[in-house]
Structure 1
Amino acid sequence: MRISELSKQSGLSVPTIKFYLREGLLQPGVRTGRNQAEYAEEHLARLRFIQVLTGPGRLGISDVREVLAAIDSRGWPLHGLCTVINVTVTSMPTVVGEDEVRREVDEYVDRLGWQVDTDAAERQTLAQVLVMLRGLGWSDGVEVFDAYASAARELGASEAGELPAEPPDVEARMRLTARLVLLDVALTALRRMALTHHVGSRHRSESQVP
């Protein structure tokens, strides 16, 4: 297909596609003329994947490039790919004071018994969250994460059981990565709906008390 058709099927503008080509996120098409090229279904699949990362995944171009590099590298094991995803999706700007609570977080993760690298980005994220909560006047300790850790343990075990031992090709790795990113977004949406439901239920119960 030509770039105009690629644009139509992906829903992305031609300038956006050309930008991804210049940035190296999308492989060039097969040249058919001086200013013309043909693109295949592989290009369309990659554009749709990039849309997931930049849309629901809210990743910047540099992060997208890093994820794509990990996917394109057939030598990366699934664990390594998950690590790259976690680093890019959970990364936050440095927060003043996070180093002081990092030990609390590390001890908490150790108590959970989870085999997580000591330099995992998620550990830093938990420390940052704790610092910001305290900065807002909350006196929370790491126990604030207990309910989330309990739900995450069950969810993580379920997801891990559904993952293939090793995605066979680049397209399969893109599908898997997109699934992980999208389900992470879905988890946040479900949590928000559950909170709205329970808060609303409590309010209705209290309003019925004479």
Structure 2
Amino acid sequence: MRISELSRRSGVSVATIKYYIREDLLPAGRPTATNQAEYDELHLRRLRLIRALIGVRGLSVNTTRTVLHALLEHTSEQHQLLGLALGAIRLTDESEDDTAEVTEVDILIQKMGWEVHESAPARAVLADTLASLRDLGAPLDSKTLLPYAKLAGRMAVLDLNQLEGVTDPFDLAERAVLLTVLLEPALLALRRLAQEHESAQRYRAG
């Protein structure tokens, strides 16, 4: 397809498509003549993925490039793909570790029996959050977090079930991004809805 058709089908302007190509987010099309190129369905799928990462999830161009390159270079193993997707995206700005909170995170992981790399970004995020809660006078420890961790474990099973049977390398990479990046806002929204319902059940005036 020509770039005009790619633009029409994807909903992305021609100028933006060319920008993504220049920024190495989208591979160039197959040259057919001077200043002309052909694009295929893989371009369309990758363009939709770029839109989701940048437009829906709000990732920067640089982070999106890192995610795409990491995933598309390692498409042979589900565990490696998920690790790359998670490692390529910082959940929050890096901050100094607080020893007490890092210890609590380690205890929690040990209680759950989780196999988690020591440099996993989520470790630092969780420790930093616990430190902030402590500073605000609402400290949480591993015992309090344990029921939440068990819920997270059940969600992880649901997540990984969605990778079962996927054999196409691009499909696998795409699904890994969906599970690790794009699904998070939906899960947070579900939690908010559940909290509103629970509050109504507990505190609504009779």
TM-score, length of structure 1 as denominator length: 0.86
Unaligned runs of 5+ in 2: none
Distance in 1 between residues matched to 2:114 and 2:135, nearest whole Å: 28
1:81-105 residue CA offsets vs partner (Å, 9 max, x unmatched): 1112122345311234534421221
Q: What's 2:169 paired with?
A: 170
Against the structure 1 CA distance between its residues 13 and 75, is the aligned structure 2 distance closer, same or farther, given a 3 Å change threshold? closer
Distance in 2 between residues matched to 1:145 and 1:54, nearest whole Å: 32
Residues 98, 131 of structure 1: 8 Å contact kept: yes
Q: What's 2:69 paired with?
A: 69
* 2:114 alignment partner, SS class: coil
Measure how far apart 1:75 and its partner are.
6.1
Distance in 2 between residues matched to 1:89 and 1:196, nearest whole Å: 30
* 2:31 alignment partner, SS class: strand
2:10 equivalent to 1:10: yes
* 2:117 alignment partner, SS class: coil
What is the identity, as a one-letter code, of the residue corresponding to 2:176? Answer: T
Measure how far apart 1:56 and its partner are.
3.2
Q: What's 1:55 paired with?
A: 55
1:51-102 residue CA offsets vs partner (Å, 9 max, x unmatched): 2222333322222222212222246522121112122345311234534421
Measure how far apart 1:136 and its partner are.
2.5
Measure how far apart 1:18 and its partner are.
1.1
Question: Following superposition of structure 1 onto structure 2, how do residues 78-117 of structure 1 map, counting pairs within 5 Å?
Answer: 78-96=78-96, 98-117=98-117
> Percent of counterpart pairs with the same letter?
37
Q: What's 2:123 paired with?
A: 123
Against the structure 1 CA distance between its residues 197 and 49, is the aligned structure 2 distance closer, same or farther, given a 3 Å change threshold? same
Measure how far apart 1:46 and its partner are.
0.4
Against the structure 1 CA distance between its residues 98 and 157, is the aligned structure 2 distance closer, same or farther, given a 3 Å change threshold? same
Distance in 1 between residues matched to 2:65 and 2:15, nearest whole Å: 18
What is the identity, as a one-letter code, of the residue corresponding to 1:101? Answer: E
Q: Which one is further off, 81-90 or 191-200? A: 81-90
TM-score, length of structure 2 as denominator length: 0.87
Aligned CA RMSD, in angstroms, stands at 2.2
Distance in 2 between residues matched to 1:61 and 1:131, nearest whole Å: 31
Q: Which one is further off, 154-163 or 35-44? A: 154-163
Residues 108, 146 of structure 2: 8 Å contact kept: no
Residues 7, 13 of structure 2: 8 Å contact kept: yes
Residues 71, 81 of structure 1: 8 Å contact kept: yes
Against the structure 1 CA distance between its residues 99 and 57, is the aligned structure 2 distance closer, same or farther, given a 3 Å change threshold? farther
Residues 97, 124 of structure 2: 8 Å contact kept: no
Distance in 2 between residues matched to 1:27 and 1:177, nearest whole Å: 20
Against the structure 1 CA distance between its residues 75 and 32, is the aligned structure 2 distance closer, same or farther, given a 3 Å change threshold? closer
Unaligned runs of 5+ in 1: none
Distance in 1 between residues matched to 2:79 and 2:108, nearest whole Å: 22
Measure how far apart 1:144 and its partner are.
3.9
Distance in 1 between residues matched to 2:13 and 2:73, nearest whole Å: 28
